[in-house]
Amino acid sequence: MKYAAQMSDLDTFLAGLPDLPDHCVVRESEERRAYECDGLSAYRRMPWLVLLPETVEQVQAIVRHCQSSGIPVVARGAGTGLSGGALPLENGVLLSLAKFNRILDIDVANRLARVQPGVRNLAISEAVDQHGLYYAPDPSSQIACSIGGNVAENAGGVHCLKYGLTVHNISEIQLVTIDGELLTLGGRALDAAGYDLLALLTGSEGLLGIIVEVTVKLLPKPERAQVILAAFDDVTKAGAAVGSIIAAGIIPAGLEMMDKLSIQAAEDFVHAGYPLDAAAILLCELDGTSEEVSEHVFKVRELLKSSGATEVRTAKSDAERVRFWKGRKAAFPAVGRISPDYYCMDGTIPRKALPQVLQTIEDLSKQYGLPVANVFHAGDGNLHPLILYDANKPGELERTEEFGGRILELCISVGGTITGEHGVGMEKINQMCTQFNEAELQQFHAVKAAFDPGGLLNPGKAIPTLARCAEFGSMHVHGGQLPFPELERF
Amino acid sequence: MKYAAQMSDLDTFLAGLPDLPDHCVVRESEERRAYECDGLSAYRRMPWLVLLPETVEQVQAIVRHCQSSGIPVVARGAGTGLSGGALPLENGVLLSLAKFNRILDIDVANRLARVQPGVRNLAISEAVDQHGLYYAPDPSSQIACSIGGNVAENAGGVHCLKYGLTVHNISEIQLVTIDGELLTLGGRALDAAGYDLLALLTGSEGLLGIIVEVTVKLLPKPERAQVILAAFDDVTKAGAAVGSIIAAGIIPAGLEMMDKLSIQAAEDFVHAGYPLDAAAILLCELDGTSEEVSEHVFKVRELLKSSGATEVRTAKSDAERVRFWKGRKAAFPAVGRISPDYYCMDGTIPRKALPQVLQTIEDLSKQYGLPVANVFHAGDGNLHPLILYDANKPGELERTEEFGGRILELCISVGGTITGEHGVGMEKINQMCTQFNEAELQQFHAVKAAFDPGGLLNPGKAIPTLARCAEFGSMHVHGGQLPFPELERF
């Protein structure tokens, strides 16, 4: 057995951590249950032990002890992840960073904030608001999700089209390795000497080390932001409008698409004022200086009209702007109201492929007998199909998962990828076999071994073993036939 | 001996590469001499053998053969690097990518270009100019340097303050590993599943693999660009002006500083119209839409005046804009005219530290008896001191190198780093010991081993061995006393 120590007694294990206060240890099964899943609640496991350290030294002591005992470790931020990256192990420690919740330093002159990993995403922007600054990445869970988790998943959000992903908005992290060493990765300069381990760690889903501090970049709040809502009677026209905005050299702060079912669910829930008869709507946010926004609003309105929009509305007030966004931001819970359960997918496609991808999803929806609502970060091609199902109906979850897997393969088939911003985690591990060839997966495993040769950090997630791929029947893109050979690849 | 095969006969080695045409092989010592150094000409070595493959399959065959023969491999682009990254080995193959010089595909809709690594940086912008697009990173060697080398060094340039380094402007690379495997790293979507090996490879200085194809991102050419020249009678005031522009939330397309000696050398050479009595000048380029540029030019002029500029000039025509830049772009060769030799340093400092760093460099200049001209990417804190020396005077090169090393340690002491955009190569390998602690260096070596366990790719560059650091007498930042303890650390 790889994890021979899993049978060791809990008391013996804890005796090896004499400096960890009792209130940092969760051992009762009732309390451990709170950690049995993250935002991907279809997967659940009871952790063997939950630890909530308060200091970097305690984190170092815990991982050192886990390494010498051969006990695997799963790090957890706010537990809002949607791909099961923080799913615990029955034979492992769940290491929560929840108590690392302090903002350590705000450096206005250099526009940087040094924060602990458990600080909530939105709390950073709130703390620097008085200085006219904000932290740009805004995943839809930003009220709850933590910056450590954002780094682990390389989180995005509505504004990442213009302002980039997490990796583009951080400058330094402090990392505890499985050996208990504390490393500084990145720095405060534009470039850093040595290999770019900061970028390597970002999005590594807890497989390479434990992040105990993050220095984020702050941006000045734009002088003005304006939102345009456009309705279309045909999804294809909406897709073409997205292409024409981008081709005109305009980079909107956000460019979102919703299909009919999403529009209806959102409108019923928050009354955003969306046109219920539209086949699709686009929301286009433009920000910058006042002059720049005026100029871009004019251009985008023209482009939307010439792309065949049936209606183009510019928010007349900040209240209306907030209301336009409210529908989009409430789209997921809105879908939750019309279905007992839903499964949020996350894949990226070339923008051009949108019509054929939406058509194929509709065909698959009929084939599987499961409705789908589509929400789409249209500007960067990141699609979020929400599959509606009922977990209480026997076999429906399994059918949903199979349908979800087909959607990811569809994304790969048209030249896209299986993840936009939610990570691979447990959810997409089989599709990694389709996306990457054997040499690429082997290189991933070699990099993992360079940080964690014993494979104790978040095992079983993100990168599939070659054996798993053989079992799954991999058809990787560079080699054999694609899952949807009839579709055009962009 | 690690490289036992070095003594093997050249003919025997070449016999193992039957599919490599004769015109791809350079074995005569006269011809090999052209490859004995890169842009850091103070270091020279004759390569054992120079190979110029034409196809990916030939590259794969060469590295496989080198691996099985235990022969080290140094990849070379255009040879314009300034840190000795392409310095060959007397017992190794110098692998030139010069014949990989084709632009393979221009995808206007997705604003991407797929190019071979030997394509010159500027050739990409020239090829896409007709579509109103360009490739943003612009190292001063952009007429000559190749995109493969840009990726290997994570090259920057005047515009990287606003548009980012190479890593921010590429989306995919094809990599040949030392095993001869061909890997696709990154992708066309905003994020990619798996570890971010694209970012890891960027700036890895040829130590992890051979880049055989690069997909670069293209940007729409800005509608308008405008340059302001400001003169100061005091370098400190110029530094404060930089801080106030950044603090105002303006991100210039370029923000450059030159000191008195640089100004004089450049003016003598290209007659840019620079004020010869100034202690420092700033060049600030603003680009974007016409309205945005007008607004920013107005604001920046006000900020420069209130920072104490003795003169503020806005280029009145495109010809004048080009002339303003001509002096800056010619600063290095201009210094070359007033001194038999010069040594271009490259370090990054927090902007606030500028006055004390320039003062310390001046003190060191007197101490070593060597003049220094300072050119500075002021917006991002990237300093290029040019040490003037005469290689024909005994001991002067050695004194220059020692002085250069002190400047790098100075950068670290104030909270900066030893590289801005030129890489570590041979030049800064000792200072890596000052920048990083033992655990961090060990992690770098582990990552290297994940790609190249035999250490055959560009050995001896970029990352020092721990033995070397022990010999150098490392004083790393996180531990012991800094080299300049009297200076404030930012």
B residues 324-353 near A, CB within 8 Å?
A: 348, 350-352
Q: Cβ of A202 under 8 Å from any chain B Cβ? A: yes
Q: How far apart are CA A49 and CA A95, in angstroms?
A: 9
CA-CA distance, B151 to B166, in Å (whole number)?
Answer: 6
Query: Distance (Å) from the C-alpha of residue B115 to the closest C-alpha of chain A?
Result: 17
Chain B: residue whose CA lies nearest to A242: B109
Torsion-angle region of residue B211: left (phi > 0), alpha (psi -120 to 50) or beta? beta
A167 CA: distance to closest CA in chain B (Å)? 10
Neighbours of A45 (CB within 10 A): 18
Give chain A positions within 8 Å (CB) of B288.
292
Within 433-452 of A, beta carbons closer than 8 Å to B belong to 435-436, 439-440, 443-444, 446-451
d(CA A181, CA A207): 15
Query: Which candidate from B168, B188, B292 shows the least CB-CB separation from A415?
Result: B188
Helix (H) or strand (E) holding B282: strand B280-288
Q: Do residue B419 and residue A184 have CB atoms under 8 angstroms apart?
A: no
Interface mutation target, options B191, B219, B250, chain A, most CBs of A under 10 Å:
B191
Can you tell me the distance from the alpha carbon of B278 to that of B206, in angstroms, rounded to the nearest whole number?
42
Q: Do B195 and A193 touch (CB under 8 A)?
A: no
Chain B residues touching residue A416 (CB < 8 angstroms):
188-189
Chain B touched by A184 (CB under 8 Å): yes
Partner B contacted by A319 (CB < 8 A): no
At how many degrees (to 10) do helices A438-451 and B438-451 cross?
A: 160
Q: Do A200 and B204 make contact, defined as CB atoms within 8 angstroms? A: no
Paired with A106 in beta bridges are A113
B204 or B248, greater pLDDT: B204
Phi, psi for residue B73 in degrees, rounded to 5: -130, 130
- B437, B443, B477: best mutation site toward chain A, by most A Cβ within 10 Å? B443
Torsion of CA A270, A274, A276, A278, to 10 degrees: -140
Centre a 10 Å sphere on the Cβ of residue A362 and count the other Cβ atoms it contains.
Answer: 15
Q: Tens of pLDDT along chain A (490 residues)?
A: 444 444 458 999 999 998 999 999 999 999 999 999 999 988 999 999 999 999 999 999 999 999 999 999 999 999 999 999 999 999 999 999 999 999 999 998 889 999 999 999 999 999 999 999 999 999 988 999 999 999 999 999 888 989 999 999 999 999 999 999 999 999 887 778 899 999 999 999 999 999 999 999 999 999 899 999 999 999 889 988 998 998 887 889 999 999 999 999 999 999 999 999 999 999 999 998 888 899 899 999 999 999 999 999 999 999 999 999 999 988 988 999 999 999 999 999 988 888 889 899 999 999 999 999 999 999 888 999 999 999 999 999 999 999 999 999 999 899 888 888 889 999 999 989 988 999 999 999 999 999 999 999 999 999 999 999 988 865 555 445 667 877 777 6
Q: What is the pTM of this model?
A: 0.92
Point out the residue among A199, A243, A451 whose CB comes nearest to the CB of B200. Answer: A199
Q: Which domains does chain B have, with CATH numbers?
A: 7-96 (3.30.43.10), 103-220 (3.30.465.10), 224-334 (3.30.70.2190), 339-477 (3.30.70.2740)
- Decide if B165 and A451 are in contact by the 8 Å CB cutoff: no
Taking CA–CA distances from B440, the nearest residue in chain A reads: A183
User: Token pair 């604001």 is at which residue?
Assistant: B299
- Half-sphere exposure (Cβ direction) of B328: Cα atoms closer than 13 Å: 29
Given a contact cutoff of 8 angstroms between Cβ atoms, the answer to whether A134 and A125 are in contact is yes
Both tokens of B87, joined, read 């310095």
Q: Please judge whether B194 and A462 are an interchain contact, meaning their C-beta atoms are less than 8 angstroms apart.
A: yes
CA angle B188, B191, B197 (to 5 degrees): 90
Note whether A295 contacts B291, CB cutoff 8 Å.
yes
Identity of the residue in B188, B444, B449 whose CB atom sits nearest the CB atom of A350: B188
Provide ipTM, 2 decimals.
Answer: 0.90
Q: State which residue of chain B sits closest to A154, comparing Cα positions.
A: B191
| A contacts of B440 (beta carbons < 8 Å) | 183-184, 194
Element (H, E) at B170: strand B170-176
